[in-house]
Amino acid sequence: MTYVPQRDDLVESVKPLLRQGDLVIVLGAGTFTPWRGSRSRPRRQSGDMDGAVGTDLALQLRESFAERVRFHEPLARHTSFCIGGPADAWVEVASAAEIALLHELARMNGVTLLPLGGGTNVLVSDRGVRGIVMQLGPAFRALEWFPNGSGTRVRAGAAVRLTKLVEQAAARG
C-alpha cells in the first residue's frame, strides 16, 4: 500500500512499483475528474503477442464477439488516468450470458479474465495486461425507477456511472 497525498504525483510515485499484470486501485472521496497527464509508450508492442491469448482463443473470441473484441487494445483508452499498455484481448460484453461465455472461454484456455469497470481509480501498467480484459457494455448502464408507497426504488446496472445515478436521484427528490 502506498499513500500519495497529491493526485498530480500519483502516477510518477506508483509507476516504478508496477510489474506486468499489476492492478492499482485508487481510493478516495469526492468527485473524480479525469486526469490527462503525460502518457508513456507501452513497453510491450503489438507484435509481442506470445503468451496468454493464442490463435485458437483469438478465433473463438472473434467468432463470439465480432467487432466487440480488440486485440492489443491500449487500456489507456479505457482508464480515467489515460495510462495503460495493451491488453492481449479486450472484450465488451452485452449480456449476462456473454459474461458466462467469456468466463468459460478464459477458463478452458487457462487465460486470466480481468473485469474493468468504468476505468476510474485504476492504474494499469504501461507494459500492458496478459489475458482478457472484460468491459461491461451499454446494456449494463440501465437505470430503472420504481415508485412505491413509501418512496422510490431504483435498479442500477453494474456499469451505471455513479454521477448519473446521483444526479437522477437528486432530480427525483
Asked if residue 165 and residue 123 are part of one domain, the reply reads: no
Asked if residue 35 and residue 47 are part of one domain, the reply reads: yes
Using one digit for the tens of pLDDT, what is the confidence trace for 38-78? 333 334 444 444 447 888 999 999 999 999 999 999 999 99
Judge whether 90 and 73 are in contact, CB under 8 Å.
yes
Note if the pTM is more than 0.85: no
Rounded-to-integer distance, Cα 118 and Cα 70, Å: 17
| Owning domain of residue 125 | 7-138
Model confidence at 94: pLDDT above 90: yes
Asked if residue 67 and residue 24 are part of one domain, the reply reads: yes
Residue 164 CA, chain-centre distance (Å), reads 18
Asked if residue 72 and residue 39 are part of one domain, the reply reads: yes
Model confidence at 31: pLDDT above 60: no
Using one digit for the tens of pLDDT, what is the confidence trace for 111-158? 999 988 777 778 888 888 899 999 999 998 889 998 888 888 888 888
Asked if residue 14 and residue 49 are part of one domain, the reply reads: yes
Asked if residue 23 and residue 95 are part of one domain, the reply reads: yes
Which residues make beta-bridge pairs with 89?
A: 71, 132
Domains: count for the chain: 2
Q: 71 in a domain, yes or no? A: yes
Judge whether 141 and 157 are in contact, CB under 8 Å.
yes
Q: 2 in a domain, yes or no? A: no
